[in-house]
Structure 1
Amino acid sequence: MASLQEGTDGDRQVRVKICGLRDAETIRSMNGLPVHEVGFIFAKSRRQISPALASELVAEVHKLRNPEGHAPRTVGVFVNPTIDVLRETLQAAPLDVIQLHGEETPQFCEEVRRTFGTAVWKVFSVTDSDADDSKSSGPDRLEPYRGSVDAFLVDTAGGGTGKTFAWHVIDRYAEAAAGIPLYVAGGLHPDNVGELLSQYSPDGVDVSSGVETDGVKDRTKIKVFAERVQGL
């Protein structure tokens, strides 16, 4: 599977995306951490933010530096947006990546890339049927999007549930991705991400509720999560 970034020793580095940020202080606390993407949710959610607030938070992300000396990329999370909604959001907040969680077609993904010049990630929910290798056709859904997106992300059905899916399907999704980076989300937290990475080799991991305490982003959990992904 292709990796997005390599360490200085040439080994593949698993990328870390922290999603659902809503305040500047938490973002500032992430300076120096091995975080590669910071996500903002524009879809209906308790973590949803406005384009105006996103503008302020994106500016804070641009000030950060990870151990490689780069600012994390900014990711906007949408569900079935229109081009006009994306245009309005991007005019306020210059995002690097548009992450699509709905029924967006390959043609729509291509239009987003062409219109805005951003990267596009397509998210697929892993259903219970995927756990049965003899019945699952879930990974086949990726094929039409090859050439239209820059990364795939697999998540527990429903999204934001804080629950993991059957991890053994990751290998089949990685095979279906066929060289396009694959991120894994769904129920990850500091105490299980090491187990995931000891068994499977996604290009990146995505966490939101797993680094929260009582529904609020926890700076210590973010630090521990990011460092455990890198084996620190």
Structure 2
Amino acid sequence: MTDLSELKLYATKPHPCSYLPGKDATTIFIDPDADMNGDIFSQLSELGFRRSGHHVYRPKCQDCRACVPIRIPVEEFKMSRSQKRCIKANRDVQTLIVDNIDTEEHYQLYANYIEQRHADGDMYPPSVQQYRDFLTSEWGITRYLEFRIENRLIAVSVCDLLDNGISAIYAFFDPNETKRSLGVFNILFQTQWAKELKLPFVYLGYWISKCKKMSYKVEYRPFQVLIENRWVVVKDYKS
């Protein structure tokens, strides 16, 4: 295994938090010039790091520990009744693994999603360059999932295949297909896919208990959270 102690870390200056009003955030990130690969990134994911494009980062705020890494242990995961209904509602969806999403069809779906769902977020307004930079394919481990109905593209998911799991990087979908709960369906698909690949976890990024936008992440139970560098199982959680 690669010695992670050789990696250089940098920190951003404190800036307004995107998730908790009135809070400042600081992010540490791996040297962009580091010789990164899938093995190193897998080890860093186990320690709570994520990636955005080719940047690998982790929150490191001075007075706040609200961002908690969260993952699904796929063998222990049990679907709820609503999740089973979601699977049933999407029986007509065809899922494909593709090599490239740098097309007008994919970008238009992304732009429509950002404009209708995240006009108040950091990624608004969308642009082609932002799209390419954010959803790059890194170190030979990135996979793109297409979800289609009768050849019509309704959702896209970007994920990385780690040594011990699937890291869900980002997903975007047709905002008009609300009844299908495509965000839920995407996570359920990745959980089943991880099981088929004999990978034990699906990494969902960071969970903030006081942020409503992240409340969906604790609906996949049991889940695990990284507390003081130790993954802890949570079976019963009351919001």
Alignment TM class, shorter chain as reference: under 0.3
Flag the structure with higher helix content.
1
Flag the structure with higher strand content.
2
Q: TM-score, normalised by structure 1?
A: 0.28
Task: Name the larger-Rg structure.
Answer: 2
Question: Which gives a bigger RCO, structure 1 or 2 (Cα 8 Å, sep 6+)?
Answer: 2
Q: TM-score, normalised by structure 2?
A: 0.27
